[in-house]
Amino acid sequence: MSADRQPVIVGVAQHRWRAIDPATGPDVAVRAAAVARAAAADTGIGHRAIASVDAWVHTVGWAAANPVDLIARAAGAKVRHCWSSGSGGEVGVAAANWAARAILAGELDSVVVTGGTDFRTRARAERLGIAYSPPSGGEGAFDVLVKGKPASSEIELAHDMAIPIHVYPIFENALRAARGLGIDEHRDRMGALMSSFTAVAATNPYAWFPEFRTADDLTAPTADNRMIGFPYTKRLNAILDVDLNAAYVMMSAARASALGIRSDRWVHWWGGASADEQAYHPSTRPDLAACPAMQDSHRGALHEAGIGVDDIAMFDFYSCFPVAVEMACEMLGLDDRDPRRFTLTGGLPYAGGPGSAYTLHSIAAMVDRVREQPHETALVTGNGMFLSKHASSVWGGRPRPLAPVGSASAPRTTLAQMPLTVDEAPTGRGTIDGYTVLHDRAGEPARGLVVGHLANGHRFVAHVIEPEALVELEQYEGVGRNGDVRRGEGVNILELA
């Protein structure tokens, strides 16, 4: 790798918008542009850093003819090529990896990546009865960086297994069982892990909830912390109802030098990787307690960087729910009680989860930390949909010692999972592989949601509706339990044996 082609982040910015007036406040494009200008200021040379850029990527946020053009023009930038990131929690990292490779190849010299949401403003407008809509328009065309695919199968949709708060607790319970942890022991350990995240959020000036909470504060169901999907209370779920923005500016070392950006502002990209699960839909995964593509992504990034996980000083694992962090630890052979901690922001439940833009905040926080400790390295990851697609990147405060070898040359996991056949109308004896108990808004158990297997190895998805069974599934281990599954009215029903 030529020293001139080294990809470096030279500017970052974040902003937390509190109590925006939907009628008179800045619209979502103006907010993104403001944070892009702040990232330019962070480079030390001001607007010149973004006055003319080769590519501008914005994480998907609202529908417009060309939202990227709206943002760039509001920021006073001329852009050669506009991109939408596509949807998913990994796209901010995927955009960094894409930009870095294009810079290495000499295809680009400067890239701006922006992202954010106005979910809080939209909710406030609806609550107040104020007409509010993001801006439309924008000139020219844009391309999509990460092409999407359906996040859920038809059978998952039919069983209401298609939103994160219903799916992630299924993984959580499967992983708890695979680890051999009892329900109480697991709750305490999960709470301790996420309490460490709140400790970071408490020191983050951009966090939506900058407050330390104990493990019991997080895991104990109360009137203001109701159970959502066992074992997750409200405080263990990502919070999307936020108004947050972040941005970063990436350049080749040659461009940064030519513009006069000091090298102590640079954070170097050392390597990255992306991978999708072969068994993309959760109900088709042979092992609900493993993510082979996550392992490939994280290890692939480390392989390209030429270092191991023990060399990483700073982590930001995608953290929409505790299991996303725990699974990353499992796939990298880390103890989730590692003193290095696994967040730089406080995570999506506490710093805030602005849709597909969260990893821009983790990258910005990483840059700030690496500038303070330039001899250290950081691993930043993202996860999209339901632990379905992954992206990882390694960063350092100094140039990477070796030329990138490419993540594709990394040894692939031995955990590769081909999708299982899902029986849409199962009958007979079935065994639970993963489950949750969904609660109503009063905090009462409403129904169970189960992923299991039949004697022939086929998968099934089913509801559990018996009140006594719902209580049992929260008090005793449900994974491995048997029951009789049958077709009900529009959904499958499992009756515990």
What pLDDT does 120 receive? 95
Residues 373 and 487 in one domain: no
Three-state secondary structure call for residue 275: strand
Pairing assessment for the beta strands 377-384 and 314-316 based on DSSP bridges: parallel
pLDDT at 414 over 80: no
Q: pLDDT tens across 263-282, in order?
A: 999 999 999 999 999 999 99
Residues 375 and 490 in one domain: no
E runs forming strands in 137-213: 143-144
What pLDDT does 259 receive? 98
Residues 51 and 107 in one domain: yes
Q: pLDDT tens across 128-165, in order?
A: 999 998 899 999 999 999 988 999 999 999 999 999 99
Does 385 reside within a domain? Answer: yes
What pLDDT does 62 receive? 86
Residues 454 and 318 in one domain: no
Q: Assign 74 a pLDDT band (cuts: 50, 70, 90).
A: very high
Instruction: Give the domain-ending residue among 351, 379, 409.
Output: 409
Residues 462 and 379 in one domain: no
What pLDDT does 352 receive? 97
Instruction: Give the domain-ending residue among 353, 381, 409.
Output: 409
Residues 464 and 434 in one domain: yes
Does 158 reside within a domain? Answer: no
Residues 433 and 404 in one domain: no
Q: pLDDT tens across 424-478, in order?
A: 999 999 999 999 999 999 999 999 999 999 999 999 999 999 999 999 999 999 9
Residues 68 and 135 in one domain: yes
Residues 455 and 313 in one domain: no
Does 80 reside within a domain? Answer: yes
Please tell me what DSSP assigns to residue 238.
-
Look at the block and give the residue holding tokens 């796209």.
91
| Residue 2: burial class (beta carbons within 10 Å; 0-12, 13-18, 19+) | exposed
Average pLDDT, the chain: 96
Does 118 reside within a domain? Answer: yes
Look up the CATH number of the domain holding residue 446.
Answer: 2.40.50.840
d(Cα 306, Cα 401) in Å, to the nearest integer?
8
pLDDT at 231 over 60: yes
What pLDDT does 400 receive? 87
Averaged over 229-257, what is the pLDDT?
98
Residues 393 and 447 in one domain: no
- Which residue range(s) make up the domain with 489? 428-496
pLDDT at 409 over 80: no
Does 195 reside within a domain? Answer: no
pLDDT at 418 over 80: yes
What pLDDT does 417 receive? 74
Domain count, the chain: 2
d(Cα 240, Cα 238) in Å, to the nearest integer?
6
Look up the CATH number of the domain holding residue 25.
Answer: 3.40.47.10
Instruction: Give the domain-ending residue among 348, 380, 409.
Output: 409
d(Cα 84, Cα 56) in Å, to the nearest integer?
8
Residues 374 and 405 in one domain: yes
Q: Residue count of the chain, please give it.
A: 497
d(Cα 132, Cα 123) in Å, to the nearest integer?
10
Residues 337 and 254 in one domain: yes
Provide the H-helix boundaries in 52-106.
67-74, 91-104
